[in-house]
Amino acid sequence: MASDLYAVLGVDRKAGPDEIKKAYRKLARELHPDVNPDPETQDRFKEITAAYEVLSDPAKRERYDLGGDPFGAGGAGFGAGFGFGDIMDAFFGGQGQRGPRTRQRRGQDALIRIEVDLAEATFGATRELQVDTAVVCPTCTGAGTAPGTSPTECDMCHGRGEVQHVQRSFLGQVMTSRACPQCAGFGTVIRFPCTECSGEGRVLTRRSLSVRVPPGVDTGTRIQLRGEGEVGPGGGPPGDLYVEILETPHPLFSRRGDDLHCTVPVPMTAAALGTVLELETLDGIEQIDVRPGTQAGQVIPLRGKGVAHLRAAGRGDLLVHVDVVTPTKLDADQTELLRKLAELRGEESPVGQFTPGQQGIFSRLRDAFNGR
């Protein structure tokens, strides 16, 4: 055998286990005695097999990399600590867990959606729900068998849950195992299934459930209720129930994160002179102080009057947007009063007409963009 085991398999000294296994598989298919029976090829096959035995074993590989003898006193022959099962593991990735599988399996998770209004999303709520889900069969208590009976051993696999199949390959005869087709891998057969659940060990029923909606939820928030999903086949443990929140729109407030926004109309005169407005919030009536000279679009914040933070203390803000309303219909007296006000303020010139020396609005906008 060549002294460099890495060169034998054609891999780098830093190659990982998967790369080493892949290289061995490729060479073994080419050099196996069933494919190439000549003596030189058989010697080469033994050589790559011995190299793989060392490089696939972390302890032996470490001894080899440090200059020691990875084979110890046993030599480097084909049969030295490397059997047919190791070759099977190299080609087929090992065998799965053997033996019959249990009839009990975990149930699936379930998802339901509920609607909450803005007040419930802000302060939390408790909902009583009706849920259609699978529960343990009350007749057989999950066994799946009729009363007074029990599962019997499968006469095809004799309780093993699997049957073996032999087939020929270039490696010779290969024995594989698969789930027994008669008992589906359980090792037992239910001859007399429960009439209520048809052998499933569970039945569908409607049950009541109390769900606490925490403050701060939003559309898309999911509440996990562990163990409240459907019971698994064979009376297996239940899955989880997820309650997804859908927040319904509010007629006055819009939500952005944990802040609330609303728009209140303010008459032009009230915006100019100042006033106090009453606004009904989620916490009750609040006084809104509109300062004299308030402009359209100005925002008046009410701190801590928004939605509660879901995972932190405190609440967002309520932001009141002022919409200054200009009157559209004036009687003669109102028109005259406004004319006098405009005259007193020097604003009697019609829009778009300016006295000499004054800039028009478009000129002022142009200068603003040009940085003058």
* Domain total of the chain: 3
Are 333 and 289 members of one domain? no
CATH number at residue 34: 1.10.287.110
Last residue of a domain, one of 71, 92, 113: 92
pLDDT at 364: 52
Enclosing domain of residue 359: 329-372
Asked if residue 345 belongs to a domain, the reply is yes
Are 296 and 339 members of one domain? no
- Look over the chain and give the mean of its residue pLDDT values, rounded to a whole number: 83
**pLDDT tens digits, one per residue of 95-154:** 444 568 888 899 999 999 999 999 999 999 999 999 999 999 999 999 999 999 999 999
The pair phi, psi for residue 68, each rounded to 5°, is -85, 175
* Alpha carbon distance 124, 170 (integer Å): 68
Q: Is the pLDDT of residue 1 over 50?
A: no
CATH number at residue 303: 2.60.260.20
* Residue with more model confidence, 130 or 93: 130
* Residue with more model confidence, 244 or 93: 244
Last residue of a domain, one of 92, 125, 144: 92
17-31 and 39-55 helices, crossing angle to 10°:
170
Work out the percent of the chain whose per-residue pLDDT is above 90.
52
What average pLDDT score do residues 196-216 get?
Answer: 93
| Model confidence band, residue 60 (pLDDT cutoffs 50, 70, 90) | confident
Judged by average pLDDT, the poorest of 121-130, 319-328, 342-351 is 342-351
| Model confidence band, residue 80 (pLDDT cutoffs 50, 70, 90) | very low
pLDDT at 73: 43
pTM: 0.61
pLDDT at 83: 42
Are 64 and 11 members of one domain? yes
pLDDT at 165: 75
pLDDT at 34: 62
Place of tokens 């701190």: 303
Are 360 and 303 members of one domain? no
| Model confidence band, residue 239 (pLDDT cutoffs 50, 70, 90) | very high
Q: Is the pLDDT of residue 357 over 70?
A: no
Q: Is the pLDDT of residue 324 over 50?
A: yes
| Model confidence band, residue 251 (pLDDT cutoffs 50, 70, 90) | very high
Are 70 and 11 members of one domain? yes
Are 14 and 88 members of one domain? yes
Spatial contact of 144 and 236, defined as CB atoms under 8 Å apart: no
Closest-CA residue to 320 (of 254, 270, 247): 254
pLDDT at 289: 95
pLDDT at 57: 84
Asked if residue 81 belongs to a domain, the reply is yes
Last residue of a domain, one of 48, 75, 92: 92
Spatial contact of 31 and 48, defined as CB atoms under 8 Å apart: yes
Are 88 and 11 members of one domain? yes
Asked if residue 52 belongs to a domain, the reply is yes
Are 338 and 318 members of one domain? no
Closest-CA residue to 221 (of 188, 243, 203): 243
Residues in the chain: 372
Residue type at 155? D
Asked if residue 141 belongs to a domain, the reply is no
pLDDT at 51: 86
Asked if residue 152 belongs to a domain, the reply is no
Are 292 and 366 members of one domain? no
**pLDDT tens digits, one per residue of 2-57:** 458 888 888 888 888 888 888 888 888 787 666 666 777 777 888 888 888 888 88
User: What is the token pair recorded at 36?
Assistant: 């190439």
Are 359 and 336 members of one domain? yes
pLDDT at 276: 95
Are 338 and 300 members of one domain? no
Asked if residue 149 belongs to a domain, the reply is no
Whole-Å CA distances, 91 to 22, 95, 323? 9, 11, 76
pLDDT at 70: 67
Are 18 and 79 members of one domain? yes
pLDDT at 86: 43
Spatial contact of 6 and 19, defined as CB atoms under 8 Å apart: no
Asked if residue 122 belongs to a domain, the reply is no
